[in-house]
Structure 1
Amino acid sequence: MSIRNLSPFIRDHYEIHEWRHASAILAADFPNEWADIQATLEGFRLNRSQIITPGGRKSDIAGWLDGQLEARGWREKKFTTQIKVDERTMDAPTHKVDCFKNGVALEIEWNNKDPFYDRDLNNFRLLFDLRAISVGVIITRCSELQSIFANLGRGASYGNSTTHMAKLLPRIEGGSGGGCPLLVFGITPALYVED
């Protein structure tokens, strides 16, 4: 896989998948956003303390990633969309995007139920078709982290029906993202830190 301008650290510490030349689009058309994503990924570590802390609405892990992007000007974004047929206008709401900046949409799926991937990919597909976004990015976890969770006594909290790479890839390969260029980063055990 030829991911453009990707640091060796990210190549060595993340599982990476790409569709429809997403990295080339980011590198050529959105260099600032591409730099933001890479700086966030390079700074991230999967701390033991974050894993053993019970989650709530948003885990410490997702909150850290959100915070790093927010500090670089990314914002949660809800798009207002409508369909007009003759004189009849109907609202066609989309779901909020976790992090959005200048045509790049990024979702963080750390430990949600796996149907959240369907929501994210459908949203990317629709927003791309409407020319509201140019690229969709997902940061999630690798399935291989399960052994770390089990060793920490948290395996049940990170079950098979939650968001991890083995649940995401078949959805993308099956066309759930439509024509939207996609780039997926999976957090691997190489990022784990015993803090």
Structure 2
Amino acid sequence: MFEQLISKGFEIEFRSHAEAILSVDFPEVAEQLENVLLSSTIPIEEIIGSGGGETKGTQRLRNALAAHGWRKHNFVVQRIIDGVQREAQSHEIDHVKSFDAGTIALEIEWNNKDPFFDRDLENFKRLHADGAMSLGVIITRGASLQDSIFSLVRRFADDNNVSSHADMERIGLNPTRRQISDVMKRVTRTKNPIPFRDAWADQFTSDKFGTATTHWSKLQDRVQRGVGNPCPLVLIGLPRSIVTFGENQENVEQLLEEGRDEAQD
């Protein structure tokens, strides 16, 4: 199951018999998810232009899932005593699809604060206990992607000859005063100064994709502690290879512009 994804570097983990449940009760789900994920790419320009927020690539992934019937749904769980509603809880899930055998819920955590994993897993746990869903899926940045963000950003700087903040403005990037200050402190310090490209790539990576954001190791921390247990889970880590280079200059400018617009919304 998910052999093609694994061969492409995706990380796949099953929890609480999720693999058996998928193979027996939901055989079409693995094929759907695999087809959608195999066709997904995120140009590096979208990562840079979005400033760490949700990229057009992750939006395309969401749209592809929606096209297969995975749509946002708000579960409402009510407690009724003698015909009178005493309380109600709602759980909004971004992607939900129902099948003859049951319902599957899916969340994509591209780059939120890592406590979002607690929210997702606890929602899955409650909904599973209430019989509202059979299995949960979480898609996030895999370890290979998280570990490579710096080198990917550094390569973007090399490819676009970014050696100063003026060069950043030339290609349509507008760092904040704080970001400029952080970079220049590293470039101009007396002890162990570093080249501008390294300083900017490191500042961007730590500021936008730091350890306190949603990625594979933070998800592992939760599930290994039992968060979400015993809800069956499928965990999917997006690999480094999902990030692409080599867009033509017109596409680069468009992607950077779209990313800035998205970050301002």
Same fold per superposition (TM over 0.5): yes
- Pairing 1:168-187 to 2, within 5 Å after superposition: 168-187=219-238
**Distance in structure 2 (CA, Å) of the matches to 1:77 and 1:159:** 30
Tell whether the 8 Å contact from 1:10 to 1:41 is kept in structure 2 after alignment.
no
Please list the CA deviations of residues 118-174 of structure 1 after superposition, one character each: whole Å capped at 9, or x if unmatched: 000000000101111101000000234244322313302111110011111121111
- Give the distance between the partners of 1:24 and 1:179, measured in 2 at CA: 14
Aligned counterpart, 1:124: 124
Q: Which amino acid aligns with 2:232?
A: P
Aligned to 1:6: 2
In structure 2, relative to structure 1, the CA distance for the partners of 1:146 and 1:56 (3 Å cut) is closer
- Which residue pairs with 2:29 in the alignment? 33
Match in the other structure for 1:134: 134
For residues 48-104 of structure 1, give each alpha carbon's deviation from its aligned partner in whole angstroms, at most 9, with x where no partner exists. Answer: 122112158743232121111001111001101112345552333233111000101
CA RMSD of aligned residues (A): 2.0
Give identity over the alignment, percent. Answer: 37
Q: Which one-letter code corresponds to 1:123 in the other structure?
A: N
Aligned equivalent of 1:24: 20
Query: 5+ unaligned residues in a row in structure 1: which ranges?
Result: none
For the 8 Å contact 1:13–1:191, the answer to whether it is kept is no
- Contact 2:146–2:215 under 8 Å retained in 1: no
1:82 paired to 2:67: no
User: What is the match of residue 67 of structure 1?
Assistant: 63
Confirm whether residue 190 of structure 1 aligns to residue 241 of structure 2: yes
Q: Give the TM-score, by structure 2 length.
A: 0.66
Which runs of no fewer than 5 residues in structure 2 stay unpaired?
154-200, 247-265
Aligned length: 191
Aligned to 1:143: 143
Specify the structure having the higher radius of gyration (Cα): 2
Question: How far apart, CA to CA, are the structure 2 residues paired with 1:168 and 1:92?
Answer: 28
| Alpha-carbon contact 2:52-2:209 (below 8 Å) kept | no
Aligned-partner residue type, residue 106 of structure 2: L
Name the TM-score, length of structure 1 as normaliser: 0.88
How far residue 185 of structure 1 moved from its aligned partner, in angstroms, is: 0.6
